[in-house]
Chain A
Amino acid sequence: MKTLPQLLQQNLIMDPERITLHLLNTDTKRSISYKELILGASGYCQALMAAGIEKGDVVVIILQHGLDLMYAFWGCILLGAVPSIMPFLTEKLSPESYRKSLTSLISVTKPAAIITYPEFMPEVRIAIQAEAGVRALLNSAQVAPLSELNLEALPGLTCSPQELALLQHSSGTTGLQKGVALSHQAVLHQIESYAEAIRMTCADTVISWLPLYHDMGLIAGFVMPILLRSPLVLMSPFDWVRAPYKLLQAVTEYQGTLSWLPNFAYNFCAKKIRERDLEGVDLASWRAVINCSEPMRWQSHQMFLERFAPYGLKPSALATCYAMAENVFAVTQGGLLEPVRVDEVDPGAFQSGRAVNNSENHRSIKMLSAGRPIGNTEVRVLTEGRIDAPERHIGEIAIRSNCMLTGYYNREDLTEKAFFQGWYLTGDLGYLADGELYVTGRKKEIIIVGGKNIYPQDLEELASEVPGVHPGRVVAFGIFNADIGTEDICITLETDRTAAEERRQIAALVRDHVTRNSDIAVRYVEVVDRAWLIKTSSGKIARNANRDKFLRLRFPGEAETVETKAR
């Protein structure tokens, strides 16, 4: 069994001049060979060593999407340190809120070092004041690539496969306090099984715009292609969102074969790209466009195919995947060898937890299969009583594999709760049919917007801070929007104020406050009277019941269709 630094070293020895990475910026392109990557990474490795950072130490990286981030990540790996990439501050985020997030992360993860830009160092200094554990604050501007390779000097080469390779976090106060710790062995087992499932080789070219602080971007769109010697074409998520056509132009220019996209991106590309930007686009080389990281919709695949088939997109390229950071990345894979299965289920039976195949009903729900488990990964669906649910019965998805997380970093409490008799309880709901997995929803209360996991309690806490909002009488939830292929965020809150103007002001303030202090933009803010919100028998606000009530209030008459969509 090898480790990440050993594989990287092997790739270097095999062909140092081979291009591993094409980095596309707004108006510049740079191609990086394995040799350049390792020289750049070695610069970070050396700087960290000089600052007293050792093998096994956690290093938080706060850099924008670019070469420095990539060098810093691999620099940690070459040192045998454990990198954790934190999303960089965006323009709209208030500095106070970012500081709070940073404090959240640091308080649990207790990193030994933080790497960031000089201009951001004062901000980080304030956040780490309370934490004595941070031994080094590294200025990325003072780190330069080495000019000569010295592989013997890289301590990471002596890591054992069981040692930690990296940490992955999801966003928000809650997510940042829950770092998924992954060993070298877990990452490499995942890459081995997943590459086999999608038949990925060094002849593939990966095109990605995904951020590296997310499992899909970090593993499928970064670590895997670099270790497998598949050229990687990477653009920034900020560039892509303004110019989604650039993804298709990159597939054309680099003969891209593989991409991973969250579901909303299918809608976004299909609807928001202008014809003039598709001139010369040829997607014939694209052998798999893999839908992953948020609920997958048949309609999204259809609209993507209809729009881009004239540009060479093959129907067989549409693929699906069920993945999570706790399994490094992929759990199941659909498509590629045969078309993704579509299961038409009866909406009535579906409500009561059974997926009854019924293509006769014109209102049947078209479920996209997430496919079969990848190698060395097992999937079960459990009932409430935690026994195997019968075929086509909806229950909680549990998994077991040779690439599971070591644990939530410094959170033994959460790690213990997450497992049941050696099986990881995903918190996702789904059913099995003919050996394929269909993911239907979530048991855990998470909102997934554009592939990003958002904890509703973080948003509710923020909304409660706004004057006029009755603290604790706030609920946040997602509503699926078929147009955009992902969820819209809604916040419903109670107030004692009755004047319409005052209520409008509260709504505006809540929208602004939540937006400035979280990773998302709020779509709906609904101000309601006291005692409007439904509570559970234990006195907690019931999110799902209140979502249904909101839908009936806001979309009367359409409630049924909206609810179907919302699921």
Chain B
Amino acid sequence: MVDQIMAYISTELLKDPTRQIREDEPLISSGLIDSFGLVDLALFIEDTFGIRIEDVELTSSVFDTTSELAQLISKKLPSSTP
């Protein structure tokens, strides 16, 4: 899951597939992803994982790194999903 998110960020948002993103790298507070990119990321996650991200969750106080984002997604996934 984390890999999928990272690949999306580096390829689609940063337009640089060679860019490595660390699991603990701040995405929002650092400005690496701007507000518009954040909305794209949310749409990607909703479509890919079939969950719903609320707009109030698009803030660094809810998630700021890919690992925190993965945790947020896992919590939202139906418990039957492995």
Contacts and interface: CB of A to CB of B under 8 A. Distances in A.
Partners in one complex: yes
Interface of A: 26-27, 90-93, 238-239, 241-244, 268, 272, 274, 450, 484, 504, 507-508, 511-512, 515-516, 520-521, 523-525
Interface string B34-54: 111111100100100000000
A516 B30 contact: yes
Contacts of A92: 28-31, 34
13 contacts: A27-B56, A91-B60, A93-B31, A238-B35, A239-B55, A241-B36, A242-B58, A244-B39, A272-B39, A272-B43, A523-B14, A523-B15, A524-B15
B81 interface: no
Contact of B32 (A268, A484, A512, A524): A512
B18 interface: yes
A325 B36 CA distance: 26
A91 B64 CA distance: 12
A504 B18 contact: yes
Nearest to B58: A242
Contacts of B18: 504
B3 interface: no
B30 A512 contact: yes
B76 interface: no
Given A91-B28, A92-B29, A484-B36, A508 B19 contact: yes
B56 A26 contact: yes
Nearest to A237: B35
Nearest to B61: A91
B16 A242 contact: no
Interface of B: 14-16, 18-19, 28-40, 43, 46, 55-56, 58-60
A224 to B, nearest CB: 26
A524 B33 CA distance: 13
A511 B28 contact: no
B55 A515 contact: no
Contacts of A274: 43, 46
Nearest to A521: B34
A304 B40 CA distance: 18
Nearest to B35: A241
A520 B32 CA distance: 10
Determine which residue in B15, B29, B33, B40 has the highest number of CB atoms from chain A within 10 A of its CB, and name it: B15
Contact of B30 (A27, A238, A515): A515
Determine which residue in A504, A507, A508 has the highest number of CB atoms from chain B within 10 A of its CB, and name it: A508
A459 to B, nearest CB: 14
A250 to B, nearest CB: 14
A243 B55 contact: yes
Contacts of B40: 272
B56 A521 contact: no
A521 B39 contact: no
Given A91-B60, A239-B55, 16 more contacts: A27-B56, A91-B28, A241-B39, A243-B55, A268-B36, A268-B39, A272-B40, A274-B46, A507-B16, A507-B19, A508-B19, A520-B34, A521-B34, A521-B37, A524-B16, A525-B16
Contacts of A244: 39
A416 to B, nearest CB: 37
Contacts of A508: 19
A515 B31 CA distance: 6
A242 B55 contact: yes
A484 B36 CA distance: 9
Contacts of B31: 90-93, 515-516, 521
A92 B60 CA distance: 10
Nearest to A488: B15
Nearest to A522: B14
Nearest to B19: A508
Determine which residue in A90, A93, A516, A521 has the highest number of CB atoms from chain B within 10 A of its CB, and name it: A521
B2 to A, nearest CB: 19
Contacts of B35: 238, 241-242
Contacts of B32: 511-512, 515, 521
Contact of A511 (B14, B38, B58, B59): B14
A511 B33 CA distance: 11
B35 to A, nearest CB: 4
Determine which residue in A93, A241, A504, A512 has the highest number of CB atoms from chain B within 10 A of its CB, and name it: A241
B66 to A, nearest CB: 16
Nearest to B52: A276
Nearest to B60: A91
Contacts of B15: 523-524
3 closest cross-chain pairs (CB), A and B? A92-B31, A521-B34, A243-B55
B39 to A, nearest CB: 5
A515 B60 CA distance: 16
Contacts of B39: 241-242, 244, 268, 272
